[in-house]
Amino acid sequence: MSKEGNKRSILSIILKVLKWIVITIISIILLLLLVRGIGKAINNKTPDGGINESMYVDINNSKQWISIYGKDTNNPVILYLHGGPGGATSYLDYKSLRKWSDVYTVVSWDQRDVGLSAKNNEGQKDITYTKELFMTDAQELTKFLLNHLKKDKIALVGHSWGTLFGANLALEHPENYLFYVGTGQVIDMRENEKGLIEAAKVWSKDDKEGQELVAQIDPYKFTRESVAARSSVLERYHFDTQSDKTDYNTLSTIFFNPYYSLSDLYRLYRNMILDEIDLSKYYDFVSSPEFDKFSLLNRTEYQIPYYNINGDHDYQANVFQAQKYFDIVQAPRKKMYTMNDMNHGLIMVRTGEFSDYMHEIATLEQTNNSTTTAVAN
């Protein structure tokens, strides 16, 4: 065979191989899309007698995303306040929150400008974050939920920053809420960071690089760099949320998320993996005197039941400060639950154990309400 014939033969083989590679890749993509579609469809089912909705709500001149899921619309409604601030977790929430859906109708909310709420508010970039802004957001959402779900009151559960947010709502607007559950409870952000720094100085006693990272943590000024150093310190000494092994598969949970489109997953990838998310407004907010207004120091009198679910190794939200605060809280009922060998992940990590506590709280509240009703009659 001539050299020209050999070239044509080799080229033909290469083209055939490339063709089958392309066909294989396309087949794999189509198969993954089919599997994802089936998984999403299963997760999108509405329970008999229950509710499964997601929507954008007009809140305080912005569109903010919520999901509502429950197995019985007669159950009490509970609003979940995610951490951060600026740390929406709607890509995972349904995996943990739905485990309580037999006793609560659970509402997940992506707060303003983060998560699924971020993509519809381009005109909100010049708004300054204040305590009043967030409290008004929450009150408008609460009123919407009370009307939409035909309830007189709802309950609150907050994680991390969401505990400051939720506790302030419970303290200032008890007429709207049944009870409050804080997990990874923060009491005061400045004191919280000082506690972390003191603990980290002990951890890094013989670690020069660790000491340099600790020196970059500033209780009064949050920047992209200082927050990165803070995260590195927690990770270095195994007190970060990633150090806790989840009781579910994170990737499959994200892949089969019933609320996220492919474009939403791509946005999530850019934010989480490529670190393209801009949280500068939130950093400025946490550094400002406005954020200090959320402090719970010297604010201990609750008119509704107060519950805590905290990790015994949680230095990200100082568990020791949370315990001291809990001891002096005055409330109609209060109870502290401790998750052993647990850092800050809590609600997003050991979802089964956390669900057990939420079920116990539901039973306690139901029993108390039944007793109160019987006495009143």
Among candidate residues 186, 200, 208, the one with its CA nearest the CA of residue 310: 186
Asked whether residue 367 falls in the same domain as residue 258, the answer is: yes
Number of domains forming the structure of the chain: 2
Query: 317 near 160, Cβ under 8 Å?
Result: yes
Give the length of the chain.
377
pTM of this structure: 0.92
Among the listed residues 85, 139, 133, 130, the one whose alpha carbon sits nearest the alpha carbon of residue 110: 85
The one-letter amino acid code at 142 reads T
96: tokens are 């943990």
Reported as a single tens digit per residue, the pLDDT across 302-353 is 999 999 999 999 999 999 999 999 999 999 999 999 999 999 999 999 999 9
Considering the domain architecture, whether residues 67 and 21 belong to the same structural domain is answered as no
Q: Are residues 32 and 176 in the same domain?
A: no
Q: From first to last of the 377 residues of the chain, give the pLDDT tens digit.
A: 566 666 677 778 888 888 899 999 999 999 999 999 999 999 999 999 999 999 999 999 899 999 999 999 999 999 999 999 999 999 999 999 999 999 999 999 999 999 999 887 654 567 899 999 999 999 999 999 999 999 999 999 999 999 999 999 999 999 999 999 999 999 999 999 999 999 999 999 999 999 999 999 999 999 999 999 999 999 999 999 888 889 999 999 999 999 999 999 999 998 888 888 888 899 999 999 999 999 999 999 999 999 999 999 999 999 999 999 999 999 999 999 999 999 999 999 999 999 999 999 999 999 887 665 454 54
Q: Are residues 124 and 144 in the same domain?
A: yes
Q: Domain range holding 250?
A: 51-188+245-376
The sign of the CA dihedral 221, 227, 232, 234 is positive
My answer on whether 278 and 308 are in the same domain is yes
Answer yes or no: are the C-beta atoms of 76 and 178 closer than 8 Å.
yes
Name the helix (H) or strand (E) containing 77. Answer: strand 77-81
